[in-house]
Amino acid sequence: MKKEYCGLFGIDCHPEAARMTYFGLYAQQHRGQESAGICTWDGDGIREQRGMGLVADVFNERHLGKELKGQVAVGHIRYSTTGVSLLRNAQPFMVRHGEHRFAVAHNGNLVNTYELRRELEQQGSIFQTTMDTEVLVHLIAKYLNGNTLEDAIAKACGRLKGAYSLLILANNKLIAIKDPNGFRPLALGRVGNSYVFASETCAFDLIEAEYLRPVEPGEMIIVDNGKLTTRNITKPQPRSSCIFELIYFARPDSTVFGEVVYERRKEMGAILAREAPVDADMVMPFPDSGNYAAVGYAQESGLPLELAMIRNHYVGRTFIQPSQDMRDFGVRVKLNPVSSMIKGKRILIVEDSIVRGTTIRTRVKKLRELGAREIHMRVSCPAIRFPCFYGIDFSSKGELIAANNTVEEIARFIGLDSLHYLSIDGLLQSVHKRDGYCLACFDGNYPVAPSTNGGKLCLEDVARPGIIGEYCNNK
C-alpha cells in the first residue's frame, strides 16, 4: 500500500472553528488514518485533543462543543511507519516558549533532520518525539531571541531542507507556509469572513468554502484576527510539486497544484490508450485508484468499461485476522471479481501504479482461476524505480519491483500477457504545465539531495525508518 503522510486544515475567526476543522479533516481522511488532532486558541492558551485512529474515533461532541473552545484552529491527520505509530508523535505538535504558545501541523518530510537535531542537542535542546516537526519548533525558539515571531519562523524555515507544508497556530495567529520547492499541496480558501487552509480543496467543498488559490512555494501567509498578509521567506527554487498527488494520493474531486485531479487522471488513461493499445474485450480497473484512468482509456480506445472487480467499502483499518493457512485473505476481503464477467474474456486492467507487485499478482492469479483468456495491464504512471525522501512511503530501492526487473520480467512475475507503463513524456502531457513536478521516484533526479553527513543520512531514532532509515542501511 502506498501512503502519503499527512493532511492539514486550519481556520481563523470562526465561532465553530473546532467543528469546521473536524469536517475538514474528515474530508481528507484518505491522507492519514493513524492519528488525528485539533488545537484551538481560546484567548488565553491553546487547547488540544489528539488521539490514535480515524477522525470520527478521536473526536466526539464533548470535544467539539465544549472543550475545544476558540475561533482559531489547526488540525492534522497522519500516517506513520513501523515503530513510530505513537500518540506522542501525533500532531499538531504543541509547545510553549516564553509568552508564545505554538501548535504546529506538518505535511512532508525533511531530509536534513539528523544534522539539525544533532546541532540543536549540542546546544542544549531536549527532544520529546521522533518527528522532524519538533526540529522546526526548536529552531523557532532559537531564533525568537531578538526577532519577531514571523521573522523567527522565516529564519527557522530557511534552515530546513526537503518537503514541508505547515500550519502554525501561534497564540491567536494562523500561519501557513510552503517549502520553496512546493512539494506538498496546501490551498487557501474562504468561508464567510473566515480564511481557511487545507491540503486538498475537497475539504473546502464539505464546509462550503470558496477556493481562492494555492499557497505558493516559499510563501508565508499570516492571518491575524481576520486580516491576511503574505511574504516570501525563502530563496526561489525550481518548482518540484509531487506529481503522485495527481496520480494517486489526492481525492479525484480535489484541485491540487491548480489541476483538477479527476481530469488529469482521465487524461493519463487516454494517453496510455494511445501509447499502448490492446485488442481486448473490455477495460476494467482495480478500484478505486484505477477507476479514473480506466475511464480515460476506455473512452479513448472505444473499448467497453466494465466494473468487474467489486470493492468492499466496509473494510476498516482492523478486522479479525484469519488463520495462517488462509493466505491472501487481506487482498480478497477488499476486492472480489464478478465471475461471470471474467470467464473466456480478454481483459485489460488499468492500474495507477505498481510498487512491489505482490498484491496485483494475487488479484491476477484469481482472474486466471476464473477463466480469463488473456490479461493485459496498463499502468497510468511510469515505473517507480527510486525511493521518495519527501513524504511518501515508497520502499527502499531494493523493494521496488521496477528497480530490479525489466518490464517483461515484471509481467511474468505478475502473470500478465502484456504490461505497459505510461511514459514520463506521456505523464507530462497529461498536465497543463510540463515543468514544475518532482519525478524523482521515476528518474532518480532528486530536487533536494538527501544529506549524507559522513555517510549517514539519519539515525533510526530520529527519522522515519521506513524510508530514510532503509536508505542508510542500503546505501
Q: Beta-carbon neighbour count of residue 401 at 10 Å? A: 21
Grid coordinates representing 85? Answer: 505509530
Nearest Cα to 80, choosing from 117, 131, 29, 9?
131
What is the helix (H) or strand (E) element at residue 273, kind and residue range? helix 261-275
Catalytic residue flag (residue 202)? no
Give the count of alpha carbons within 13 A of 194, CB side only: 22
Using only C-alpha atoms, what is the Rg of the chain?
Answer: 23
CA distance 39 to 17: 10
Q: At what angle do helices 358-369 and 407-414 cross, to 10 degrees?
A: 50
Q: What's the length of the chain? A: 475
Grid cell digits, residue 452:
549524507
Give the residue ranges of DSSP H helices in 14-132: 17-27, 55-58, 61-62, 113-122
DSSP-H helix ranges across 276-357: 291-301, 329-332, 339-342
- Give which of 109, 141, 145 is closest to 126, Cα–Cα: 141
End-to-end alpha-carbon separation of the chain, Å? 23
Q: Is residue 438 annotated as involved in ligand binding?
A: yes
157 is in an annotated binding site: no
Distance CA 79, CA 323 (A): 27
What are the cell numbers at 23? 469536517
Nearest to 37 by CA among 87, 76, 85, 80: 76
Flag whether 441 is marked binding: yes
Catalytic residue among 6, 157, 202, 472: 6
Provide DSSP, 213-238.
EEPPTTEEEEEETTEEEEEE-S----
The runs of H, that is alpha helices, within 61-190 are 61-62, 113-122, 133-143, 149-158
HSE (side-chain half, CA atoms, 13 Å) at 409: 8
In this structure, what are the phi and psi dihedrals at residue 182, rounded to the nearest 5 degrees?
Answer: 70, 40
Residue 26 CA neighbour count, 13 Å, CB half: 14
Residue 306: which residues within 8 A CB-CB, separation 6 or more? 282, 283, 284, 341
Active site residues: 6
